[in-house]
Amino acid sequence: MQQALIEKYGEARLPRYTSYPTAPAFAPVVGAGTYGDWLSNIKPGTEASLYLHIPFCRSMCWYCGCHTTITQKDAPILDYLDMLRQEIGLVSDRVENRIKMKHIHFGGGTPTIMQPEEFRDLIGLLRARFGLVAGAEIAVEIDPRTLTAEMAAALGEAGVTRASLGVQSFDPVVQKAINRIQSEAQTAEAVTRLRAAGVGGINFDLIYGLPHQTVQSCIDTAKAAVAMRPERFAVFGYAHIPSFKKHQRLIDERALPDAAARAAQAEAIAETLVAAGYVRIGLDHYALPSDDLAIAAKRGRLRRNFQGYTTDTCETLIGFGASSIGRTPDGYVQNEVPPGLYAQRIASGRLATVKGYRLTAEDRLRAEIIERLMCNFRADITTIAARHGFDAAPLLDGNARLAALADDGAVDISGGTVTVRQDHRFIIRAVAAAFDAYIDQSARTHSKAA
Ligand SMILES: C=Cc1c2[nH]c(c1C)Cc1[nH]c(c(CCC(=O)O)c1C)Cc1[nH]c(c(C)c1CCC(=O)O)Cc1[nH]c(c(C)c1C=C)C2
Ligand SMILES: C[C@H]1O[C@@H](n2cnc3c(N)ncnc32)[C@H](O)[C@@H]1O
Ligand code: SF4
């Protein structure tokens, strides 16, 4: 049965539901003008999250699905940081003193491509423009291959609480096939430097489904990784979309594992991490039981946002930089993606928003159902619908996708509650899709669900 379900649902192109509606539903009707209005609607005393995108790396990993560009020079990075500072000014002029920062996330690309003093200045500017809540989280994505001792120390001094390291795979055959050579020793040294600098929460990103990856290779990587004792893991299935990311054409498609092999690899990594004391969280995260994410999951308080699973409860997320996505209580916004176009906008004194989405009451209802499914593998549709002033019946009855999942034994529906069995967690994107009103317009653009 399990095998049949993997074959039927595992290969479907479905969103990862880091938002609802998902990014393909964003449209140019929401631009800089609307975003400006939405920023002025933010209420005084709002606790907000900030995301800052740094779209530069020193070399290209062929699997990469992130918005980044390769540069060996420092000038483009310095120019970009200038624009980022200007954008922080433009936004803070509109928000005035109405927000306090609860979470700051530096993503990329590779944020640690900045010089230590540039990072310190950026944090200083944010602190000056927006107040910081006591106990706020500051998280930074890190490439262990290029993290210097000076940068690690600067992160600690600036108050960084979490570091997310790209690890992906320790298998030399896989590393060659993805153009990312990174030794275990390099990774361990980055962890040591971060811990010495006082950065307490460390996350490793791993990927399965890469070219030449096998179950054994995944187990070996997971074992080497757990020996370094990061607090968390995020384990992603390789999303191969060469039409969207041209450099993925450098990946040998004949060496890619099929759906059944991908599922076996995901399960082997899960078992290795669980055996080493990590708790499974949601679709693709793992954490030590003492970690905040594991505690939130246990209490049913897990959340999902653009960074994946999180403890962040803020309704307002302000995105800075090329391609950044933000949200306010009114809806979603996304900045211009190519760094050059983003820079042109900011240099002319305008917000860089090029698309977005204004949330309706029904979207908010569906968003909550999908978030609960993605986080808890269960959603009480009747209760959630009632809270939003909707009737649950139209969501459950005549729902062909949901009926098919129930017929296949993948979900249980009783008393208006939809539950996904723990051994069917790989199917969760298909269950979420059953509550996505836009799925048939967006399904084609998304990656394999397994
Ligand atoms: C840190 C790296 C990032 C990953 N995803 C994003 C970042 C910044 C954000 C992102 N990536 C895509 C979109 C869609 C909207 C757009 O701007 O075009 C966003 C918001 C593109 C994308 N990335 C992946 C896929 C399959 C797609 C296109 C289709 C889709 O929206 O699903 C794969 C992928 N990228 C990242 C991960 C972890 C991942 C798959 C597991 C990192
Ligand atoms: C931010 C994290 O996203 C993951 N990542 C980047 N590109 C892809 C892709 N195409 N498929 C799956 N995961 C990806 C890496 O693990 C990286 O560390
Ligand atoms: S995986 Fe990280 S280091 Fe590699 S190209 Fe993508 S953003 Fe850059």
Task: Give the three-state DSSP class for 356.
Answer: strand
**Percent of the chain with pLDDT strictly greater than 90:** 92
Q: Is the CB of 68 under 6 A from ligand 3?
A: yes
Residue nearest to atom 1 of ligand 3 (CA): 64
Q: CA-CA distance, 350 to 342, in Å (whole number)? A: 10
Residue 424: what pLDDT? 87
Average pLDDT, whole number, for the chain?
Answer: 95
pLDDT score of 198 more than 80: yes
Per-residue pLDDT of 241-250, as tens digits, reads 999 999 999 9
Position in ligand 2 atom list of the atom nearest CA 239 = 11
Cβ contact 149:112 at 8 Å: no
Q: CA-CA distance, 65 to 241, in Å (whole number)? A: 8
Q: Is the CB of 64 under 6 A from ligand 2?
A: yes
Q: How confident is the model at residue 446 (pLDDT cuts 50, 70, 90)?
A: low
Residue nearest to atom 19 of ligand 1 (CA): 23
ipTM of the complex: 0.91
Neighbours of 242 (CB within 10 A): 12
Q: Which residue has the higher pLDDT, 449 or 292?
A: 292
Q: Is the CB of 236 under 6 A from ligand 2?
A: yes
Q: What are phi and psi of 246, to 5 degrees?
A: -60, -35
**Percent of the chain with pLDDT strictly greater than 70:** 97
Per-residue pLDDT of 344-380, as tens digits, reads 999 999 999 999 999 999 999 999 999 999 999 999 9
Q: How far is Cα of residue 78 from the mean position of the Cα atoms in its chain?
A: 26
Whole-number Å distance, alpha carbon 318 to ligand 1 midpoint, is 18
Per-residue pLDDT of 136-183, as tens digits, reads 999 999 999 999 999 999 999 999 999 999 999 999 999 999 999 999
pLDDT score of 450 more than 50: no
Whole-number Å distance, alpha carbon 450 to ligand 3 midpoint, is 22
Whole-number Å distance, alpha carbon 338 to ligand 1 midpoint, is 15
Average pLDDT over residues 41-45: 97
pLDDT score of 101 more than 60: yes
**Model-wide pTM > 0.80:** yes
pLDDT score of 447 more than 80: no
Q: Is the CB of 166 under 6 A from ligand 3?
A: yes
Whole-number Å distance, alpha carbon 207 to ligand 2 midpoint, is 7
Residue 442: what pLDDT? 60
Q: How far is Cα of residue 38 from the mean position of the Cα atoms in its chain?
A: 24
Residue 1: what pLDDT? 61
Q: Is the CB of 110 under 6 A from ligand 3?
A: yes
Average pLDDT over residues 96-108: 96
pLDDT score of 443 more than 60: no
Among 80, 58, 51, which Cα is nearest to 147's? 58
Cβ contact 160:118 at 8 Å: no
Per-residue pLDDT of 302-337, as tens digits, reads 999 998 999 999 999 999 999 999 999 999 999 999
**Helix (DSSP H) and strand (DSSP E) numbers for the chain:** 17, 19
Q: What is the CA radius of gyration of the chain?
A: 21
Q: What are phi and psi of 42, to 5 degrees?
A: -65, 135
Q: CA-CA distance, 391 to 184, in Å (whole number)? A: 54
Position in ligand 3 atom list of the atom nearest CA 166 = 2
Average pLDDT over residues 400-418: 95
Q: How confident is the model at residue 11 (pLDDT cuts 50, 70, 90)?
A: low
Q: CA-CA distance, 256 to 250, in Å (whole number)? A: 12
pLDDT score of 444 more than 80: no
Among 240, 267, 282, which Cα is nearest to 372's? 282
Average pLDDT over residues 391-398: 95
State the pairing for strand pair 331-335/353-358: antiparallel
